[in-house]
Amino acid sequence: MSNSKVQIFDTTLRDGEQVPGCKLNTNQKIVIAEQLDLLGVDVIEAGFPVSSPGDFASVEAVSKIVKHATVCGLTRSVENDIKVAAQALKYAKRPRIHTGIGTSDSHIQYKFKSNRDAIIERAVAAVSYAKTFVEDVEFYAEDAGRTDNDYLARVCEAVIKAGATVLNIPDTTGYCLPHEYGAKIKYLKENVKGIDKATLSCHCHNDLGLATANSIEGVINGARQIECTINGIGERAGNTALEEVVMVMKQHPYLGLDTNINTAMLYGISQLVAEQTGMHPQPNKAIIGANAFAHSSGIHQDGVIKNRETYEIIDPKDVGVTESAIVLTARSGRAALAYRAKNIGYELTKLQLDVVYKDFLKFADLKKEINDSDIHKIMESSPIYNELH
Ligand code: KIV
Ligand code: ZN
C-alpha cells in the first residue's frame, strides 16, 4: 500500500445503523453493501454478529456477496462475541474481526469496575483469541479520545504484540479538538514500539461537529484509515461523513493523501442510504445536501453563470450531481432569470429582460421559489409575450 493511500472503513451498516429508527434488514444491508463495494471502500463493517440473529444473518449474507472489500464484524472483548463473529465471517474473502474495550478512566472505573492493568490483559486476550480465527484483527480502544496518552500507548503496544493489524483510536464521545486528536495520533506514532506493524485508524463522532476535522487531523498526523458512514449517520450526532473526508482529501491534493473511492458515486449512494434508513440529510449538508450546489442570491448566481468556479470548489459531476442549480427567489438577479428563461426557450434581449424582471420580482415576493411553470406564467402575462413568438 502506498503511503499516501488512506483506507476507507465504512461502518454505515454497523455504527450508522445503530441510530433509532435506522434499522436495516438483511436485504437492505445487501443492497447497500453491493454499492459500497462498487464505490471502492476498503472495509465494510457489516454488523455486530452476536447482538442478534438478524445481525448475524446480515454479516453472513454480506460476507457472501462482497467481491473486493474486507468484511468486518464487531465484537466486545468477550470470547463468545469473537467466536460468533468468526462464524458470521466464514464466507468472507477477506474477513476482519474488530474487537476492543473501553480504555478511558471513566470506562474502566464505571463500566468495567476494573483497573488499567486488568483492561490490558483483557485486550490482549481478545486479540490473541481473535487471531486464532483470522489474520486481520482490528483493536478499538473505546473512548480513546478521553484516554490518557501514556496509558493508550501501553494498550496499543500490548495488542500489537498480540497480533493486532489495525489500531482504532475512537473519539467515541466526539470530545476532542482537532489539534488534540492529531497530537494523540502523532504521540502513538512516536511512542508505541512496533507501531510500523499496524495501521492507525480514526473513528470520530460528531457531537461537537468536529468529526471530519478530527479525522483529517488524524491522517495528517500519520493515521492511514478513516472509519466513517454515508451521510454521517450514527449514534447521537453521528459519525464522520464518508463523502466529506473523501472530498477533503481530493480537493486538497497537496496533503498527499488519497483514497480508492469512485467519487462520482457519492450522490447516488447517499440517496440510497437515505431511502433505506429513512434518515434524510439536511439540505445544507456538505457534498450531498440538496443545496450543496444550489445558488440563490443574485451576486452568486451572476458569478456561477459566468464561471462555475467563482462560487463552487467542487465540480458537481465529480460527486455524481448532474449540474449546479440556479434557484430563482426574490433575491435572484437578472442574470439568473435570463439563464433559467433561456433553458425553457425564452431568449430575452436586455430590454425585454428589464420588463420581465419587474414582474418576476412581484411574483417572487409572494413565493419562496419560482419554478419553470411560474416562469411560463410570468412570460404569458407580460406585454412582451407576443414579441417572443
Ligand atoms: O465509537 C466507538 O467507540 C465505536 C467502537 C465500538 C469502535 O463505535
Ligand atoms: Zn462509534
What are 292-329's pLDDT values in tens digits?
A: 999 999 999 999 999 999 999 999 999 999 989 999 99
With the C-alpha atoms ordered 249, 252, 258, 264, is the resulting torsion angle positive or negative?
Answer: positive
- pLDDT tens-place string over residues 257-305: 999 999 999 999 999 999 999 999 999 999 999 999 999 999 999 999 9
How many A from CA of 38 to the centre of ligand 2? 24
Q: Tell me, what CATH number does 213's domain have?
A: 3.20.20.70
Helix (H) / strand (E) containing 74: strand 70-74
How many A from CA of 292 to the centre of ligand 2? 26
Which amino acid would we find at residue 225? Q
Is residue 125 in a domain?
yes
- pLDDT tens-place string over residues 234-246: 999 999 999 999 9
pLDDT value, residue 20: 86
pTM: 0.95
Which of 230, 246, 277 is the last residue in one of the domains? 277
Do residues 302 and 259 share a domain? Answer: no
Expressed as residue numbers, the domain containing 15 is 7-277
Q: Whose CA is nearest to atom 1 of ligand 1?
A: 172
User: Alpha helix (H) ranges present in 229-368?
Assistant: 242-251, 266-277, 298-306, 334-343, 350-366
Do residues 247 and 306 share a domain? Answer: no
Confidence check: pLDDT of 93 > 70: yes
Do residues 269 and 323 share a domain? Answer: no
Is residue 246 in a domain?
yes
Residue 194, classed as helix, strand or coil, is: coil
Select from 106, 147, 203 the residue to mutate for testing ligand 1; criterion: most ligand atoms less than 8 Å from CB.
203
Q: Per mean pLDDT, which range of 36-45, 183-192, 357-366, 377-386 is the poorest? A: 377-386
pLDDT value, residue 386: 77
Do residues 194 and 229 share a domain? Answer: yes
Is residue 52 in a domain?
yes
Do residues 160 and 239 share a domain? Answer: yes
Confidence check: pLDDT of 122 > 90: yes
Q: Whose CA is nearest to atom 5 of ligand 1?
A: 142
Q: Which atom of ligand 1 is nearest to the CA of 15?
A: 8
Do residues 186 and 320 share a domain? Answer: no
Do residues 66 and 150 share a domain? Answer: yes
Q: How confident is the model at residue 1 (pLDDT cuts 50, 70, 90)?
A: low
Is residue 286 in a domain?
no
Q: How confident is the model at residue 353 (pLDDT cuts 50, 70, 90)?
A: very high
Dihedral angle of Cα 63, 65, 68, 73, to the nearest 10 degrees: -20
Burial class (CB in 10 A: 0-12, 13-18, 19+), 209: exposed
Is residue 336 in a domain?
yes
Do residues 258 and 380 share a domain? Answer: no
Helix (H) / strand (E) containing 79: helix 79-88
Is residue 1 in a domain?
no
What are phi and psi for residue 125, nearest 5 degrees? -65, -40
Do residues 265 and 337 share a domain? Answer: no
pLDDT value, residue 383: 87
Which of 234, 249, 277 is the last residue in one of the domains? 277
Do residues 251 and 110 share a domain? Answer: yes
Dihedral angle of Cα 191, 195, 148, 241, to the nearest 10 degrees: 130
pLDDT value, residue 384: 85
Is residue 216 in a domain?
yes
Whether the CB-CB separation of 202 and 240 falls below 8 Å is answered with yes
Ligand at shortest distance from the CA of 140: 1
Do residues 261 and 332 share a domain? Answer: no
Q: Which atom of ligand 1 is nearest to the CA of 205?
A: 1
Q: Cell match 486476550: residue? A: 125
Alpha-carbon gap, residue 234 to 331, rounded angstroms: 36
Which of 250, 277, 304 is the last residue in one of the domains? 277
What lines the ligand 1 site, CB under 6 Å?
15, 140, 142, 168, 170, 172, 203, 205
CA nearest to 328, candidates 363, 285, 352: 363
Ligand at shortest distance from the CA of 72: 1
Is residue 2 in a domain?
no
Total domains present in the chain: 2
